[in-house]
Amino acid sequence: MKLALTEEQQLIQDTAKNFAETELVPNAAPLDEHQPGSRDTFLSNLNKLAQLGFMGLNVGAEHGGSEAGVVAFSCAITELARGCSATAVTVSVTNMVAEVIESVGSDEQKAYYLPKICEGTYPAAGFCLTENSAGSDPANMKTRAIRDGDDWVITGNKLYITSAEYAGCFVVWAVTDGDAKRGKGISCFLVEADNPGIEIAKAEEKMGQRGSATNEVIFTNCRVPASAMLGNENQGYAIAVGELAGGRIGVGSLALGIGLAAMDYARNYLGEREQFGQKIGNFQGLQWMLADRYTELEAARLLLMQAAYLKENKQDFGSAASMAKLFASEKANDACYSALQMMGGAGYIREYPLERHARDVRITSIYEGTSEVQRLIIARGLLKDIL
């Protein structure tokens, strides 16, 4: 692979960086604190990002997408996360939904849904997979879809759904054959948010990522036409597994952006704060912390670029994505806590962004598969020809 970005990829990275600095950073803290008007600014920024082409970065131009590829997507999410992780995660998940539709959707589904997602008609899109008994183990889901004439009727609850309260549509997984072997009787559906069978519960109160809405989505006799099925009947598990692997590139990129934002802020602080008659950046202990964390974040970036490159070039990328997500999320957590430590008491004060970064980054080693699950995936890949 070429380590240098193409001209188009560089342009997308620069555009994301500039947008984050000018539009996202000023609203990040107010959004985290749920200040009046911050939600409206957030939704306005999502629309602006759609107009810039960031909601369909890996979607074909014929469907309104940017056709920029996975490497550009990773670069964009990293830069957006440096400005506001709540906005970045919404962009990441919305791109994920768009990719599912383009990958396995019918021509009619692609023509109807993708332009609405890419152009911002839908502020966001939701990925309804997780349940109380099915997170890292999607084969154990309880949501059911029962055939009724020309329709399917979906009943069940989905948990921790990013952007649910302002999503325009959802990709929903449900069991369609209860007698099938584990993981074999699951199908996937496209459901519009205004379906009367959907209820969006109140947003969860979270430790971090407070600016991003996370809701339970309740399906009660939610009737959809047979044409709403995405892909083939009872083949939804494979879709879920494939898209989760791609989603790990997004979460790893998100983590990298948060870690870089934290370290950049701490680095500048080292040049301002004085103790013992000199700038604290002159102390070797802090210099080594700085060097180690930036080295680790650069290694995370390279792992993410490799996974993104493999996916973009239609090669097997599952293990690479798990490695990248595992390393990036763990090292971004380390970076945020090191940055907070480098700033001492100031890092613990809400006036500075370090405490928000430390709260926001924590979830990156949990969602799209915990670090422990990533280790299982990596190990199974390494041992599949031995055991």
Looking up tokens 């889901």 gives: 141
266: buried, middle or exposed (CB in 10 Å: 19+, 13-18, 0-12)? buried
Looking up tokens 């107010």 gives: 30
Q: Which region holds residue 67: left if phi is over 0, alpha if psi is between -120 and 50, else beta? A: left
pLDDT score recorded for residue 3: 76
- Which of 141, 55, 64 minimizes the C-alpha distance to 96? 55
273: buried, middle or exposed (CB in 10 Å: 19+, 13-18, 0-12)? middle
Task: Please report which helix (H) or strand (E) contains residue 223, including its range.
Answer: strand 214-225
pLDDT score recorded for residue 2: 67
Residue 275 has φ and ψ, to the nearest 5°, of -145, 145
How far apart CA 368 and CA 172 sit, in angstroms, is: 16
Domain residue limits, the chain? 7-122, 126-234, 238-383
Residue 48 and residue 217 in contact, taking contact as beta carbons nearer than 8 Å: no
| CATH class assigned to 126-234 | mainly beta
CATH code given to domain 7-122? 1.10.540.10
How far apart CA 69 and CA 76 sit, in angstroms, is: 11
pLDDT score recorded for residue 140: 84
pLDDT score recorded for residue 274: 83
How far apart CA 243 and CA 252 sit, in angstroms, is: 14
Q: For the domain made up of 238-383, give the CATH fold.
A: Butyryl-CoA Dehydrogenase, subunit A; domain 3 (1.20.140)
Per-residue pLDDT of the chain (387 residues; tens, 9 = 90+): 667 899 999 999 999 999 999 999 999 999 999 999 999 999 999 999 999 999 999 999 999 999 999 999 999 999 999 999 999 999 999 999 999 999 999 999 999 999 999 999 999 999 999 998 877 777 789 999 999 999 999 999 999 999 999 999 999 999 999 889 887 899 999 999 999 999 999 999 999 999 999 999 999 999 999 999 999 999 998 888 888 888 999 999 999 999 999 999 999 999 988 889 899 899 999 999 999 999 999 999 999 999 999 999 999 999 999 999 999 999 999 999 999 999 999 999 999 999 999 999 999 999 989 999 999 999 999 999 888
How far apart CA 135 and CA 116 sit, in angstroms, is: 28
pLDDT score recorded for residue 216: 97
How far apart CA 106 and CA 347 sit, in angstroms, is: 50
| Annotated active-site residue in 243, 296, 330, 368 | 368
Q: Residue 214 has which token pair?
A: 């996370």
Per DSSP, what are the bridge partners of residue 173? 188
User: What DSSP string runs through 144-192?
Assistant: EEEEETTEEEEEEEEEEEETGGGEEEEEEEEES-TTSPTTTSEEEEEEE
pLDDT score recorded for residue 177: 93
368 is catalytic: yes
